[in-house]
Amino acid sequence: MSDDEPDLELLALLRQHLQGKLTLNDEPETGVLEGAEYVYDNAIDVAIDMRSCKNAAAAIHAQMQQKQYSPATWSAHELHPDRTKIGPEATVAFIFTMDLLNFSFWSELPDAERFAIEYRGQRWTGYWSLVAAMQRALDEGIPITDSHFWQDEEECTLDVLRQVFRSCTNEEMPLLAERLACLREAGKVLYERYECHPINLIEEANGSAAALVNLLARDFSCFRDEHVFDGRRKPIRILKRAQILVADLWACFEGEGYGKFRDIDKITMFADYRVPQILNTMGCISYSPPLDTAIRLKKDIPCGKSWEMQLRACSIWCVELIRREIVKRYPGTHTNAILIDFFLYDTIKEMEAAGQESVPHHRTRSIWY
């Protein structure tokens, strides 16, 4: 923008301030919800059905109550780290590493041939294959959660990463080279700015979830999940892995210690490939015929293009509408987008395990989710 062009955003802020609509405080915002609403308002291939969202809100609330969904649910998963055993710093290092690599596990091969990790006598696929591989590596003495290791080009090679993520089938973990690049970049940034440990990132955020998300997006390109939509000058911030990292810390530490954030409710749903699938299954979001056909035929949905941005952003906005409906209809219920999201993810995974998926998840191969 040239000097003589007016900065329209600044003028808008000034106007809001003069009208007393703007409370200038130093609390940071991520901008994710604002971007999600913008995409929703301009989407033509993804729609939100309000009636289904209201019905879903009632059903989700009832089931979350019944299952007593809370941050403690996170640690109940057998593969997640036990902070009481390994201590807070090692737990933060584990979660940081996990959410650096928490993307793109889907396979087009049949279950028996898809990438899978054998650990503790079980075969783990999807997200759980990542967690299982990390636990196995630590058991085998590979310091997979240590940022010094990530930077060491002799020690931490692509072959070593192949070994860490070795499959019990012939299919290799997707995007292995990209995962190594994420570790390398994170190791470098942690060395240069955060004394080699992610706990210093959390300290820097000073108790704000939004600030931590913004720090991750500012300092690590591999967390900077933001994309231009329909030529809008300001990119749309999705920040899925940055947000799920903060959410996993909050859940694992049950809102205390390294999981203590005064603004945790600013975190949105995590725009992955599973929650849009269940929102579509529940009728909360629907697709234009060409997009619907592309998803059902498991066609590649290109990363960063309009269809994919509409899918991800409208899912974020849809979960926000469900959250607002729950808060409105059940006053006093303390829920947030994180717990609703965790519940939806776990629910679609139960449906997958029971062979009850009625529509496929969309296929985008990317490091963002």
Ligand X SMILES: Nc1nc2c(c(CN[C@H]3C=C[C@H](O)[C@@H]3O)cn2[C@@H]2O[C@H](COP(=O)(O)O)[C@@H](O)[C@H]2O)c(=O)[nH]1
Catalytic choice (45, 146, 219, 272): 272
CB of 125 to ligand X, least distance (A): 7
Footprint on residues 302-341 left by ligand X (CB under 6 A): 341
Cβ 196 to ligand X shortest distance, Å: 25
> Of 73-81, 113-121, 185-193, 224-232, which part binds ligand X (CB under 6 A)?
73-81
Q: Of 106-145, which residues contact ligand X (CB under 6 A)?
A: 106, 126-127
* Number of shown-chain residues binding ligand X (CB under 6 A): 19
Range 233-272, binding ligand X (CB under 6 A) = 270, 272
**Residue 194 Cβ, how far from ligand X at the closest point, in Å?**
23
Q: Which stretch binds ligand X (CB under 6 A): 7-15, 97-105, 176-184, 301-309?
A: 97-105
Return the C-alpha torsion angle 310, 312, 316, 322, nearest 10. 80
Interaction pattern, residues 174-213, with ligand X; x per rule: CB under 6 A? ----------------------------------------
Looking at beta carbons only, is 10 or 354 nearer to ligand X? 354
- Restricted to residues 267-306, the positions that interact with ligand X (CB under 6 A) are 270, 272-275
* Stretch near ligand X under the rule CB under 6 A, chosen from 99-107, 156-164, 175-183, 279-287: 99-107
Nearer to ligand X, 214 or 277 (CB): 277
Q: Which of 37, 263, 265, 346 binds ligand X (CB under 6 A)?
A: 346
Least separation, in Å, of the C-beta of 282 and ligand X?
A: 15
| CB of 60 vs ligand X, minimal distance in Å | 14
Q: Is 365 in the site for ligand X (CB under 6 A)?
A: no
Structure-token match 């049950």, residue found? 254
CB of 152 to ligand X, least distance (A): 26
The 3-class SS string of the chain reads CCCCCCCHHHHHHHHHHHCCCCCCCCCCCCCHHHHHHHHHHCCCCEEECHHHHHHHHHHHHHHHHHCCCCCHHHHHCCCCCCHHHHCHHHHHHHHHHHHHCCCCCCCCCCCCCCCCEEECCEEECHHHHHHHHHHHHHHCCCCCCCHHHHHCCCCCCHHHHHHHCCCCCCCCCCCHHHHHHHHHHHHHHHHHHCCCCCHHHHHHHCCCHHHHHHHHHHHCHHHCCEECCCCCCCCEECCHHHHHHHHHHHHHCCCCHHHCCCCHHHCCCCCCCCHHHHHHHCCCEEECHHHHHHHHCCCECCCCCHHHHHHHHHHHHHHHHHHHHHHHHCCCCCCCHHHHHHHHHHHHHHHHHCCCCCCCCCECCCCCC
Catalytic (active site) residue 341: no
Cα angle: 329, vertex 62, 59; to 5 degrees: 80
Closer to ligand X by CB, 229 or 273: give it.
273
Assess 225 for contact with ligand X (CB under 6 A).
no
In the bound complex, what is the minimum distance in angstroms from residue 14's beta carbon to ligand X?
37
Residue of 285, 284, 243, 236 whose CA lies nearest to 265: 243
Residues in contact with ligand X by the rule CB under 6 A:
73-74, 77, 102-103, 105-106, 126-127, 270, 272-275, 341-342, 345-346, 369
Q: Any idea which residues carry the catalytic annotation?
A: 272
